[in-house]
Amino acid sequence: MKRITTLALLLTIVSMTALAGGLLHNTNQHIAFMRMMARGASHEIDAVYTNPAGLAFMDHDGWTLSLNIQSASQRRDVLTTFALFPEADHTRLYKGKAEAPVLPSLYGAYKKNRWTFSGFFGITGGGGKCDFDSGLPMFDAAVMAGVAAQTKPLIAKFPQAAPLFPQGYVDPSFYDIESAMKGRQYIFGLQLGGTYKILDWMSAYAGFRMNYFNGNYSGHITASANDKLKSAVGQIMPLVQQYAPEYVPVLSSMSGEGGLAKVALDCSQTGWGVTPIIGVDLVWKGFTLAAKYEFKTNLNIENDNKTFETDVPDAFKEKMADYKHGVNTPSDLPAVFYAALGYEFIPNKLRATVEYHYYDDKHAEMAHDKQKHLRHGTHEVLAGVEWDINKTFTVSAGAQNTDYGLSDAYQTHTSFSCDSYSIGLGGAVNLSEKVKLNVGYFWTTYKDYDRSETDYFGTTLPGKDTYSRTNKVFGAGIDFKF
């Protein structure tokens, strides 16, 4: 009865707390982004990440440092309808909680005449953990379908068993499934580079980011016979022993503790890759036109299994082979193009920016070429406005819309995304000429994604999912000049 055909997918859990950005990026690294969203034309310290070429136009020679702390929470729910679910409408809600209580980022820049050297450290991908305390529907469905498929022939062989099993198979009322899945995933990024002011109105940047992936995924599934099944097995066992002894091991397994299914997993993954980065910034009569390009990052993650306990039928060993100890799985970071146009309506008072991001996801290699199922790469459009009320207080707001190019073949319970839009707002306080405090808050509204298939995750039965998400992030940071 140990037909857990989709356990391997657990290793691809994406536990990120859906921060702003593409499928694999977190772009909200500075609180200024949270409160304005469109920061691609920035000439302040947050430009180290959003517009590094723009550092040439900072208003301060010498050192500028910035420390930012964010706290994010998200829900990742799956509403599933599957014929074998015992609920009246065969529909069940699985709730996932993703938390990242502390997401730090650190910026530094040193500007001298036409040169600026800068660095950044933060969690550029992943960014938290996700817990499904009641498991995931595809695992429950696999157990239920496996039990039904293997018990139908037995019950059909013995008409005397029909009154005990009115559905014609061992249905979920005869056993209890207990499962839980959790994962955490971080991509730590360390960026270094240099900016040079080529002309009074033009600057350029070149640098790189070192990315280190660290994740852990664990879970368990047990399906145990209840008293109802044990009683039924006891009643038909004498007949089976006499007329079909080949089914005795099946019945014995069914009535034993954990005999229907028992799986345990504890897998860590690590990997690293380097991202080359270039950028340019043009300033003219209140306008700023900026662009940045991050090259594709080849990133492979390697399995380190501490626990991997499961009995898988021979037919499914090929699926499991990718996730054995020591196996490498491709998880490239896509090339990204950023372009922004900013305009200062009132000098040193009122400014606004519009921005576009393109993530070339379809050319970033994923496990089993999953990227080919995307309809297109990720498109993001952002806009933001910032107003200096006076020399002390600044307020800002912005919005972002994200289109991932999703498809049914790309989505799974362990790794699903939803198109969305985000709203951010907040402000800054100049505590002195050299110290600024930033605070921001943004939330994301997701469009539910409906997915259905006639062969639900290999169960041979139809099923339907609705994926939904919520996301809220709050943060504060402080900038220093000296």
Angle between the 137-157 and 248-255 helix axes, to the nearest 10 degrees? Answer: 140
Alpha-carbon torsion (452, 453, 458, 462), positive or negative: positive
CA of 158: how far to CAs of 19, 155, 225, in Å? 56, 5, 20
For residue 89, the 8-state DSSP code is: T
Phi-psi region of 126 (alpha: psi -120 to 50; beta: other; left: phi over 0): left
Q: What is the mean pLDDT of residues 266-281?
A: 93
The runs of H, that is alpha helices, within 136-273 are 137-157, 227-243, 248-255
- 171, two tokens: 């249905």
Answer yes or no: are the C-beta atoms of 248 and 241 closer than 8 Å.
Answer: yes
Three-state SS at 153: helix
456 torsion bin: left (phi>0), alpha (psi -120 to 50), beta (else)? beta
**CA 408 – CA 370 distance, rounded (Å):** 11
Q: By C-alpha distance, which of 423, 421, 410 is closest to 467?
A: 410
Q: Which residue has the higher pLDDT, 246 or 291?
A: 291
Give the span between the Cα atoms of 139 and 146, in whole angstroms. 11
pLDDT above 90 (res 176): no
- Helix or strand or coil: residue 116? strand
pLDDT at 251: 77
Task: List the structure tokens of 136.
Answer: 């995931």
Q: Residue 108 pairs with which residues in a beta bridge?
A: 65, 119
What per-residue confidence (pLDDT) applies to 261?
67
pTM equals 0.87
Q: Are 98 and 76 contacting, i.e. CB atoms less than 8 angstroms apart?
A: yes
- Count CB-CB contacts under 10 A for residue 77: 16
Amino acid type, 389: I
Considering Cα of 365, then 24, then 353, then 384, what sign does the dihedral take? positive
In percent, the amount of the chain with pLDDT more than 90 equals: 51
- Residues 95, 132 contacting (CB under 8 angstroms): yes
Residues 6+ away with beta carbon under 8 Å from 201: 282, 283, 284
232-258 pLDDT, tens digit per residue, is 888 888 888 888 788 788 777 777 655
| Six-digit token string for 310 | 């499961």
Residue 9, amino acid: L
pLDDT in tens, 48-62: 999 999 999 999 999
Q: What letters, b where the CB count within 10 A reaches 16 and e where it falls short, cover 191-202? A: bbbebbbeeeeb
Rounded to whole angstroms, how far apart are CA atoms 26 and 380?
A: 13
What string of DSSP letters covers 241-272? Answer: HHH-GGGHHHHHHHHSTT-SEEEEEEEEEEEE
For residue 366, what pLDDT band results from cuts at 50, 70 and 90?
Answer: confident
**Per-residue pLDDT, 10:** 40
pLDDT-above-70 percentage for the chain: 90
Nearest Cα to 469, choosing from 431, 440, 443? 443
pLDDT tens readout for residues 79-126: 999 999 999 899 999 988 887 888 899 999 999 999 999 999 999 987
CA angle 203, 206, 209 (to 5 degrees): 140
Least confident among 189-198, 327-336, 343-352, 384-393: 327-336
Please determine, for residue 439, whether its predicted confidence score (pLDDT) is greater than 70: yes
Average pLDDT over residues 164-189: 87
Residue 1 is given by DSSP the state -
Among 99, 96, 306, CA closest to 181: 96
pLDDT tens column, 445-459? 999 999 988 988 778
Average pLDDT, the chain: 87
CA distance 50 to 41: 8
Residue 311 has a pLDDT of 56
Q: Rounded to the nearest 5°, which phi and psi values hold at 113?
A: 55, -120
Q: Is 207:277 a contact under the CB 8 Å cutoff?
A: yes
pLDDT reading at 6 higher than 60: no
- How far is 76 from 411, CA to CA, in rounded Å? 13
Contacts 24+ apart (CB under 8 A), 166-172: 170/229, 170/254, 171/84, 171/86, 171/144, 172/84, 172/85, 172/86, 172/144
CATH architecture designation of domain 7-481: Beta Barrel (2.40)
The angle at the Cα of 61, spanning 435 to 285, to the nearest 5 degrees, equals 95
